[in-house]
Each structure stands twice: as C-alpha cells, then as structure tokens.
Amino acid sequence: RRRMGLLAAVARRMLTLVASAAYLVVVVPAAKVVRLLVIWVLSQGAIPRHVAFIMDGNRRFARKKHMGSVTKGHSAGFSSLQMVMKNCFDLGVKELTVYGFSLENFKRKEEEVQFLMKLAEDKLRVITSPENRKAAEQNGVLIKFIGAKELLPKSLQECISVAEDESSPKLVEMNVCFAYTSRWEIAVAVEQIAKEGGNITSEAISKKLQLSPPDILVRTSGEHRFSDFLLWQGAQSVFMVHDIFWPEYSFWNLVSAILYYQWALPEISRRKAVNMNA
Amino acid sequence: VMLEWLARVLWAAASLAVRAYCAVLAVGREASRAWVNARERALFGRDPREALRRSRERLALEKRPAHVAFVFARPRYVRCEKAAELACLAAVHGARTVTLFDDTGLLKKQITTILGHLSTYVKQADLGCFQFVLNTANGQHYVDATETKSHTVMVHVVSQEESRRVVATAATEVALQKPRQLETRGTAYETLADDISDATRIGSVVFTEPEVVVVFDDYTIIPNFFPWHIRLSEFFWAGRPDRFGALQLEDVLRGYAHTEKRFGV
C-alpha cells in the first residue's frame, strides 16, 4: 500500500509537470498567435489615435480579492496599466491618457495619499532607470505629466522632471494626469489667455488646453460619470463603460472598445462634420 | 494579397458580429420598454394624472436630483411634446431645474410649441401647483403667469451654441471684474473655478450643474453638452425618447439614488 501511495504521488507530480509544460509549450504560444491574429484583423478598420482611461476600482478590487489593504489594489492597478499600455501600443494607438490622481483625491485618507505618491515615485524611478529609458527611447515613448505639479511632494516633482524627457523621439505619447481635473485645465487655459491679453473664447480655450480630444474614453467599475476628466475635449468621443475593476481590465476589453468605436465612427464623423458646418 | 483579403474578410465578419450584437441588444431594450409602457397603460389607463401620482408614490427615494437634463442627440429624436412631458415628469419627482438640449437648436426654435404642450400637460395632469418658466438665452416665457404657484420649475431650452460659450463669457466676466482671481497655482484655481461657475448664465439665470443627464442616442457618444457643468453628473443613455416614460425615469432616478461616493471620498 505504501508503494501504491508513493506511486500515486509521483504520478500526480508527473501529471502536474506535464500539464504545466503543455501550457507553456502549447497554450501560451497559441494565445500569442491568437492575439496577433486579432490585432491584425482589428487593424483593417480604423484604430483610434487617442484612448483615455479612467482607472476606477482599485480599492474595490482589493476588497473583492481580500488583499488586506487597499494599497495592494493600487499596486495591482499599476500592473494593469503596464499591460494596457503594451496592448494599446501593439494595437497602433498613438496617444494614451490615464487619470492617475485627481485634485479631489487629496481629500482621501492621508496614508492612502502618501502611498499613492510613494508608488508613483517608485514606479517613475524604475521607468527612468538606464535600461528602461533606453527601451523607451528605442520605442519612441514620450511621457508627459499633466496636473498641478506644485502640489506634489518635491521628490516626486524631481522624478517627474526626469521622466519628462522632451529630447527623445516621439512615436507614441503617454499622458499621465496626476493632480489634475478638467476644470483646473480649463482654468489654466483661461489664465494663459488673459495674461496674453487675448479674447477668452471657446476656440481660444480649446487651443490652449494641454490634452487633445480622445477618440475613446474608457471607464471601469461600471460608473457612468466623468469625474472631472477631459470634459472639454470629450465631446463626440465614444464613452465605453466596463463593469469590471481596473486591475481586471484585459486585452479583450480593449478589443471590444475598439470594435465599438469602429462601428460608431461613421456617426461620429457625421456629427463632427455637422458641428463644423454649424 | 490573399492574406490582406483574408484579414479584411475577418474584420468585416467581426464588425458585422458587433453590429448584430448591438442590434439584438437594442431590439431587446426596445421590446422591454414597449412592454413596460404597455403595462403602465394597462395599470393606469391613459390618465396622465394617475400615472404621475402613482409614479411619485411608488418611488420613495432618499436622494433626488434637483437638476435633470435631457439631451436629444439626434435631430430626428427632437419632439416638443416629449420634451414637455419629460419636464413635467422631472418636476413631479422633485427637480426644480430641467434642461432640454439638442445640438442643432430645434427646440429653441419651437418655444411656443413647447409652451403649448406644457400648458396642456399641466391642465391634464393637474400640475397647477408648478410654475414652469422656459428660459433661453433670449429671455423667459411663462406657462401661466396669472397665478402665484407653489413651486417654480426653471426649464432651460438650450443648444450647443450656449454649451461652451457660457464658460467663455463667464471667464471673460471674471477676468474683467476680478483680475487678481486669475491665478491657478496651487489651490488658487478653486477660487477661479467657483467664480466661473457662479458667472455661467443662460440669459439672466445662473446655470447649475445637473445631477442627472439622460441622453437620447443610439450610441454612447458623449454629447457636446455644457462641459464645465458635467464633472459629477450621472449619465444615462436611453435610446429613443418616444419609448421613455415615467417608469424609465423612475429607473434612472433609482440608479442615481444608489450611486456611491465620488472620488473615493
């Protein structure tokens, strides 16, 4: 019986090893092939130039997965951001904007705000390390931080200034809205126009805004509001709401958003033409 | 060439699948609404007073929006009678400001028609306690100015012409009257933002932020609706307006009442 028990344990181990090997050798490459195929098919239609994300639901994700602390949800959210960046750039999106931290978020608990600042600083140090910087330059990624930077800790401001390297050739843009609200952006535009002595018109405000209009605005966690993000630029953009939390956002969610955009594009083009004529 | 042709075929198939899926969803939604409307008519008959009374009683909410906006995103969805009905429905459920918006300004051109429908609806549905005031950039129109009413409901009738212009006008006013407030460094922008909000007007009436925005559109495309004022508004995309009635508005208000905190605070 002992020998039978030992043989059964060994057989179980062997099966696990075979299954893992099969997964690595068959499933993973097959998933990569399927992904490449989907990207290839999707690129036959119009790929949106600019996609914006409201990354909502990190803390609820942490509670759902019983992670113990909401800060772990934010860390999971950053991992999801890295994956979404890669997916967007693989699909041919040229500009990506994410709502990292709102000016209103300063009203959250002190420890959570401190953690978010520390997380941003740590991740920026990783991004601006020599090997990652070289990779970013080779891929032509330009990172910009939009927001009231003077409200951020000095150490974070320094990291941001290092990350915002204008000298690198620009193929794709990554805008991180940190300490940002859309009203702040509009107010800054109004201030600039007034200081230059120009007339404050809606066209002048549109020209002074720091972010370009998105083609798709994506929000996770099922909420149908904009939370003071890209309010001025968002008109005539497709608004996609996914009823999942940000760390759960996957390549397939992005594919569904782009397919929906491609379907709505003729109507969007028609409305923009009508608005321009008006 | 063959591979390119194959890719195009696959993409066309995927696009058709998405359209078919969205069409099935839309048909399902319309069928559901048609059934709900039929049920409403069966329960309450064609008496709008009864429908409104039952609707208000049925919906016991802790949180009701003070300002509701209805956006007619497509010109063919613009109907004066429906606009008047929606204004009355929102007023019965506690809204004291209603905004009726369409891109091309068709509603603004038919103010007298909307007034007529409002007047008819007020009489039929026994809404004599409400004083409806239609407000446009050119002036105000009263449904019945002869009597003093208990509740005043301001109905803004606007288009995309006012949508961004009100912000530019307000900002110009602030720049002229309070030039030292034009400072956005640190938290100073909040003062400028508050001043701009207080100065945005439709005609002579300050335009407030709508808590709820109902968009009548086939696509979830963000309308060109008052970008300054929608920062915390709950949006509901509702399809065709002729299938949107008391029961659908109740669903919207229930959804609004159950929304959680903002900005995680």
Share of chain A above pLDDT 70, in %: 96
Q: Which helix (H) or strand (E) segment is B71 a member of?
A: strand B67-72
pTM of the predicted model over 0.95: no
A118: left (phi over 0), alpha (psi -120 to 50) or beta: alpha
Shortest distance between the Cα of B43 and any Cα of chain A, in A, equals 32
Tell me which chain A residue has its CA closest to the CA of residue B180: A191
Torsion of CA A233, A239, A244, A248, to 10 degrees: -60
pLDDT band at B138 (very low <50, low <70, confident <90, very high): confident
Phi, psi of B128 (to 5 degrees): -65, -15
pLDDT band at B44 (very low <50, low <70, confident <90, very high): low
Nearest-angstrom CA–CA distance, A23 and A11? 18
Give yes or no for a contact between B134 and B114, defined as CB atoms under 8 angstroms apart.
Answer: yes
User: Which of B103, B165, B227 is the closest to A231 by Cβ?
Assistant: B227
Contact A239 B184 (CB under 8 A): no
pLDDT band at B263 (very low <50, low <70, confident <90, very high): low
B42 touches A at CB < 8 Å: no
**ipTM for the assembly:** 0.85
User: Which of A181, A183, A278 is the closest to B104 by Cβ?
Assistant: A278
Nearest to A105 by CA among A135, A73, A148: A148
Nearest-angstrom CA–CA distance, B83 and B81? 5
In chain A, what is the greatest distance between 2 CA atoms, to the nearest angstrom?
Answer: 93
Give yes or no for a contact between A151 and B186, defined as CB atoms under 8 angstroms apart.
Answer: yes
Nearest-angstrom CA–CA distance, B129 and B106? 29
Strand pairing report for B234-237 and A95-102: unpaired
Taking CA atoms, A184 is separated from A157, A158, A176, B194, in Å, by: 18, 22, 15, 11
Contact B11 A225 (CB under 8 A): no
The residue type found at A197 is G
Per the prediction, chain A carries an average pLDDT of: 88
Contact A205 B172 (CB under 8 A): no
Give yes or no for a contact between A229 and A56, defined as CB atoms under 8 angstroms apart.
Answer: no
**Does the pLDDT of residue A28 top 80, yes or no?**
no
**Does the pLDDT of residue A186 top 90, yes or no?**
yes
Give the pLDDT of residue B179: 72
Nearest-angstrom CA–CA distance, B35 and B258? 25
A277 touches B at CB < 8 Å: no
Q: What is the DSSP string of A188-231?
A: HHHHHHHHHT----HHHHHHH-SSPPPSEEEEETT----SSSST
Spell out which residues of chain B touch residue A183, defining contact as CB-CB under 8 Å.
Answer: 189, 193, 228, 231
Mean pLDDT of all residues in A210-217: 95
Phi, psi of A54 (to 5 degrees): -100, 110
Nearest-angstrom CA–CA distance, A255 and B88? 42
Q: What is the DSSP string of A45-75?
A: SPPPSEEEEE---HHHHHHHTT-SSHHHHHH
Nearest-angstrom CA–CA distance, B191 and B178? 11
Give the pLDDT of residue B41: 65
